[in-house]
Structure 1
Amino acid sequence: MKEQMSVTELIQTVSQSMKGDGIKQDYITQLSYTWKALEQYLIAHDLVFSKENAFTFLKDKYDIHADQNFAKLRPIDKRRKRAVCALLHCADGKSVYREKTYWPCSFHDAYVLPFYEFLNERKSQDLALSTINRDIYTLNHFSKYLQESRISKISDISPAIVQGFMKWLAEQKNLPTLKSASASMRVLLRYLYQNGYIPEDYSPVVLSVRCRKVVPSVYQTDEIEKMLVSFNQSSAVGIRNYAMVLMAARLGIRASDICALEFKNIHWERNTIEFVTVKTGKPAVLPLPADVGNAIIRYIKDVRPSSEDHHIFLRMQAPFKKLNPASLHMIVTNAFRDAGITARPGRCHGPHALRASLATSMLEKEIPLPVISEVLSHSDTDTTKMYLKVDMHHLRKIALEVPGLTGVWMGGVRI
């Protein structure tokens, strides 16, 4: 019977199955974008749903190949492939979705209590599952190293032990893994010190691991304006989303900071937005442009739910609580799609792309790097320098003329 189901029936079945398994509606909604695109593709090409046609759709629409390594796909492409695979599994009578869970913890008895307390503290911060699993991965290896080093108590940890662990980890893991572990170790060591498990804060002992930075994804000014116009401001959700995305586009504020903004951070009398950044803990004072201010006022006066929560931007359905950064990422992604602006492979499409676009635009206007660094709340100007990679306006001025190939031997022939 399932082999005869249409793609529409499969989508309905998979969606209901996921809801029954307790999968969050936000995630199902994200998958539905791929499902709708697949449905339209099959209709346009007069095709029936099959494994061959489904993977042809992925290749034609998103340049995702059937034999492509799943781990190397972008997060959005992984989600697109999962959406199609869920339909294929349903058509074959298999389970459509296996919910992701926390990785198992393998801590030695001597470290169980502080390590579990640390993880519970991290979980209470509403961090992504991948971040918590990164911490668990690091703790598992740290526990193994402490046991092999005959460290019987957490209080016996020393700078030499921390450095020895990082060296031990570096000998068997690759650079990105070491970078993630170093971030987890700094947070762990600060936690252990603040909670009295170790006598000093050894987090500065963990050196920063720098991986090769990728080229930032940027959009032209006309693309961003086209994206902003795409919001449906006749709806309450559209008014809220427009205000949030406008702040990201005009001021380059991180998604985490936009979601964390409270009424006390808006100083109408001075026309400024003043807050402490979530990522760096650095105070930021930014001007409040008229269009951003008007968008915020319209949202607050006309559509913001009545709530005692001090955060400015809230969910539009009960419980009325602040949005998380992942929600804003999805809002920006949807806005680009609604505006007909496609994200080519390797091109990001979230709030950080708006931030990078603003930095590039400021560089084109000859604004000094220290000023841009201050606007973006970077900890130092070295971070801001990454945007020089896409500053085509200035790169063209220093481009060297490519010499001709006359007199060069190629393949044994002089040209």
Structure 2
Amino acid sequence: MSQGIGESIADYLNHARAERGLSANTVAAYRRDLGLYRDFLASRGIGNLAEVTPVEVTEFVRELAHEQAPASVARHVVSVRNLHQFAADEGLTPTDPAADVSPPRLERRLPKALPVDVVAAILEAPDTDTVEGLRDAALLELLYGTGARVSEVCGLDVDDLTDALDGRESGLRLLGKGGKERAVPLGSYAAAAVQAYLVRARPQLAAHAARPSPALLLNSLGRRLSRQSAWAVIQRAAAGAGVTQDVSPHSLRHSFATHLLDGGADLRVVQELLGHSSVATTQIYTLVTIEHLREVHAAAHPRAR
């Protein structure tokens, strides 16, 4: 008896988690996507993956395109293709019916980088005469100073900083997507902000906890600062700096990358610092830099306009 689609999906998700090391959030997203695909196939009377042909996969994508945004459709296509490739590799199906099905073309959106002076104003916005202000300053300096994702900074423990602050490590170690670890330099501004927070603020925040937390950044209850709270810190700092445009944790990450490239950093170096697995992902920042050059040229050159 052939394996049912639900069993095949469960096997694939276990493989994605255990063998490929995908994060819990990514696996959960695949589970949702593939649940929708399973229901679609069931509505066509298909009970196992061996019965699927390119026609069904194409129909599924076409049906999604009428209901969802291109980015969501593209994610579903990736989930379905990965499932069928796994099934073919494992001998569960004789062929891979999704191999030639492509996701819809996505409009390439350039990341929005903030000007250097705007970033500086945001970083200087927290009131460092307060416990929360010292923590907020450390968070902001770490985000912009390292280009880290907000989840990576919120996931830091005090022990992760000790060696970097004492000069025993070449940089701060971050745990990125898929459990990949990378080292990034810890600049003097970020190091000073973290040191001030550790000495003058964290002990007071930690005193509010029922039990000690290893987390570097703590909330008012002495628990690990969440991504949602970090987002609120950034928006509060932006408002305090008088910034009217939308600012998010990714704004600081985008600005980090763009400012490095504007300063002459090599693309491969920026790729390593951001933790991108492919340089193609990092190359979008070169388009931002070129756009900036066009703006400067148009404003400054007498025959550009």
Alignment check: 8 A CA contact 2:148 2:274 kept: yes
Matched, 1:270 2:169: yes
Give matches, 1:156-171, under 5 Å.
157=49, 161=52, 166-171=57-62
What secondary structure sits across from 2:219 in the alignment?
Answer: coil
Separation in structure 2 between the aligned mates of residue 368 and residue 213 of structure 1, nearest angstrom: 22
Letter in 2 for 1:295: A
Separation in structure 2 between the aligned mates of residue 207 and residue 261 of structure 1, nearest angstrom: 38
- Among all aligned residue pairs of Structure 1 and Structure 2, give the percentage whose two residues are the same amino acid: 19
Matched, 1:293 2:188: no
- Of 160, 164, 173 in structure 1, the residue corresponding to residue 64 of structure 2 is 173
| Aligned residue in 2 for 1:328 | 230
- Of 104, 113, 135 in structure 2, the residue corresponding to residue 218 of structure 1 is 113
Alignment check: 8 A CA contact 1:218 1:357 kept: yes
Deviations 1:355-390 (A, max 9, x none): 111111111112121111111111211111211232
Give matches, 1:221-370, under 5 Å.
221-266=116-161, 267-268=163-164, 269-278=168-177, 280-304=178-202, 305-306=206-207, 307-317=211-221, 320=223, 322-343=224-245, 348-370=246-268
Tell which has more relative contact order, 1 or 2 (C-alpha 8 A, sep 6+). Answer: 2
Displacement of 1:342 in angstroms is 0.5
Alignment check: 8 A CA contact 2:125 2:241 kept: yes
Which sits farther off after the overlay, 295-304 or 250-259? Answer: 295-304
| Aligned residue in 2 for 1:102 | none
- Of 362, 383, 391 in structure 1, the residue corresponding to residue 281 of structure 2 is 383
Separation in structure 2 between the aligned mates of residue 397 and residue 338 of structure 1, nearest angstrom: 29
What secondary structure sits across from 2:189 in the alignment?
Answer: helix
What secondary structure sits across from 2:255 in the alignment?
Answer: helix
Alignment check: 8 A CA contact 1:364 1:394 kept: no
What secondary structure sits across from 2:281 in the alignment?
Answer: helix
Separation in structure 2 between the aligned mates of residue 288 and residue 315 of structure 1, nearest angstrom: 23
Separation in structure 1 between the aligned mates of residue 179 and residue 105 of structure 2, nearest angstrom: 21
Cα distance, 1:270–1:164 mapped onto 2, change above 3 Å: farther
The alignment covers a number of residue pairs equal to 272
Separation in structure 2 between the aligned mates of residue 371 and residue 342 of structure 1, nearest angstrom: 32
Alignment check: 8 A CA contact 2:9 2:34 kept: no
Taking structure 2 as the reference length, the TM-score comes to: 0.71
Taking structure 1 as the reference length, the TM-score comes to: 0.54
Deviations 1:42-78 (A, max 9, x none): xxxxxxxxxxxxxxxxxxxxxxxxxxxxxxxxxxxxx
Alignment check: 8 A CA contact 2:145 2:186 kept: no
Separation in structure 1 between the aligned mates of residue 81 and residue 121 of structure 2, nearest angstrom: 42
Separation in structure 1 between the aligned mates of residue 55 and residue 137 of structure 2, nearest angstrom: 50
Separation in structure 2 between the aligned mates of residue 360 and residue 173 of structure 1, nearest angstrom: 35
Cα distance, 1:132–1:367 mapped onto 2, change above 3 Å: same
Separation in structure 1 between the aligned mates of residue 236 and residue 85 of structure 2, nearest angstrom: 38
Letter in 2 for 1:150: I
Deviations 1:275-297 (A, max 9, x none): 3313x543311111122122222
Cα distance, 1:236–1:287 mapped onto 2, change above 3 Å: same
Letter in 1 for 2:276: H
Cα distance, 1:187–1:271 mapped onto 2, change above 3 Å: same
Displacement of 1:111 in angstroms is 3.7
Displacement of 1:189 in angstroms is 8.3
- Of 26, 30, 35 in structure 2, the residue corresponding to residue 139 of structure 1 is 35
Letter in 1 for 2:118: E
Cα distance, 1:207–1:397 mapped onto 2, change above 3 Å: same
Cα distance, 1:337–1:186 mapped onto 2, change above 3 Å: farther
Unaligned runs of 5+ in 2: 18-22
Cα distance, 1:244–1:191 mapped onto 2, change above 3 Å: farther
Separation in structure 1 between the aligned mates of residue 181 and residue 160 of structure 2, nearest angstrom: 11
Letter in 2 for 1:274: R
Letter in 2 for 1:226: A
| Aligned residue in 2 for 1:412 | none
Unaligned runs of 5+ in 1: 1-108, 404-415
Q: Which has the larger radius of gyration?
A: 1
Displacement of 1:314 in angstroms is 2.4
Cα distance, 1:312–1:364 mapped onto 2, change above 3 Å: same
Displacement of 1:183 in angstroms is 5.2
Displacement of 1:393 in angstroms is 4.8
Deviations 1:249-282 (A, max 9, x none): 111111111111123433331251113313x543
Tell me the C-alpha RMSD between the 2 structures: 4.1
